[in-house]
Structure 1
Amino acid sequence: MSEQKTQPEDELDWVSKTQRKQESDAIQKLGRELTTISEQVLAQLPIDDTLLEAIELAKRIRNKREGYRRQLQYIGKLMRQRDCDEIIKGLAKVEAQKQQANQEFHQLETTRDAIIAEGDSAIQAVIDEYPQADRQRLRQLSRSAQREQKQSKPPKSARELFKYLREISEAAE
């Protein structure tokens, strides 16, 4: 009869050198990414003081090639000693917020362009969506923007229209 070999638990958790290297490189890349983001974003992430100080030092010595490289190595070492899942989730959340803001910005641009091109029908759509919007102001800005386009003037009214749309959009939230 054949004997079944049972593997100890230590052998089940075995990780190849290649896989460890790939994980290390991914953490190193994450550390490099942390040195490029703003202070406001860093403040939102669950980063302890030691790692935060290392990141700030790396930002200060960025133009010192070898020192910066060694600092990135140190950041990678610190991050390998920590659970990076929360940092990755925090970065993903910040990125999602940035994409949401970009999407809203583009939507406002599209609405502005529609108001300038179509006039009253697009204004009515904005009034339907934002009842607190001032129809008279929208019409005035629309006419001024159309006039500026025809006369090849700078789009001052189009900018004002965009600002007004952003104001009423933010007020509705």
Structure 2
Amino acid sequence: MTEFEQLEDDENYKSKTQIKREVEALQVIGTKLLALSKQQQLKVEMSETLRAALLEATRIKQREAMRRHMQYIGRIMRNEDHEAIAARIALFDSSSAAHNKLFHSLESQRDSLIGENSATEVQKYLKENPSIDIQHFRQLVRQSIKELAEGKKTSARKKLFKYLREIKETKLGINL
């Protein structure tokens, strides 16, 4: 058996092309990470080396220098938990499935809180989130129910949604 056949049989064998694709994928994650705001970057867990590289990238203006620096960020990403970083980035990206899923779950939660069984839903929500401002929460729910019954504008419902989103963001440790 030749050395090449042994390499093909090995389960851990990766071709040069496969390695190159993985490195390019890490560079793409690095590019998305760079596109986040400073506040959002602070919410992503990463090493200080990667954080410093992202800070350095904001100062680079030349195209070729930026390309080389993105390769450097890709190399740093090899030692990071890139799957967790990518998942956190997806929560910030409004076009991602994770962000949309979170958004729709908050909408349905708001609708159930102001729906037919609002009293039981409010009690259930308060048991799940005992650290929230109960008085403010109940006030937002009451205003939303009243607004819905009168068929008025949606300002109270928007405020309730925003409050629910803030609570969820605090739980997840992110800022959408």
- Shorter-chain-normalised TM-score: which range? 0.5 to 0.7
- 1:41-85 per-residue CA deviation (whole Å, 9 max, x = no partner) reads 544433343x43432233344xx4xx14422323314543x4615
Q: TM-score, normalised by structure 2?
A: 0.56
The residue identity in structure 1 corresponding to 2:47 is I
> Relative contact order (alpha carbons < 8 A, sep ≥ 6): 1 or 2 greater?
2
Structure-to-structure mapping, 1:15-26, within 5 angstroms? 16-26=15-25
* 1:72 aligned partner: 67
Query: Aligned partners of 1:34, 1:40: CA distance in 2, in Å?
Result: 12
The residue identity in structure 2 corresponding to 1:46 is M
Instruction: Please list every run of 5 or more consecutive structure 1 residues that lacks an aligned counterpart in the other structure.
Output: none
Query: Equivalent pairs: percent with the same residue?
Result: 30
Whether the 8 Å CA contact 2:23–2:74 is kept in 1: the answer is no
Count of equivalent residues = 154
Whether the 8 Å CA contact 1:46–1:90 is kept in 2: the answer is no
The residue identity in structure 2 corresponding to 1:155 is T
Query: Aligned partners of 2:167, 2:31: CA distance in 1, in Å?
Result: 39
* 1:86 aligned partner: 80
The residue identity in structure 1 corresponding to 2:83 is K
Whether the 8 Å CA contact 2:29–2:86 is kept in 1: the answer is no
The residue identity in structure 1 corresponding to 2:88 is V
1:124 to 1:100, Cα distance in 2 relative to 1, 3 A: farther
1:58 to 1:171, Cα distance in 2 relative to 1, 3 A: closer
Structure-to-structure mapping, 1:79-118, within 5 angstroms? 79-80=74-75, 82=76, 84-95=78-89, 103=101, 105-114=103-112, 118=115
Whether the 8 Å CA contact 1:114–1:122 is kept in 2: the answer is yes
* 1:39 aligned partner: 38
Q: CA deviation at 1:129?
A: 1.2
Q: TM-score, normalised by structure 1?
A: 0.56
Query: Aligned partners of 1:107, 1:15: CA distance in 2, in Å?
Result: 40
The residue identity in structure 2 corresponding to 1:73 is R
Larger Rg: 1
Q: CA deviation at 1:143?
A: 1.8
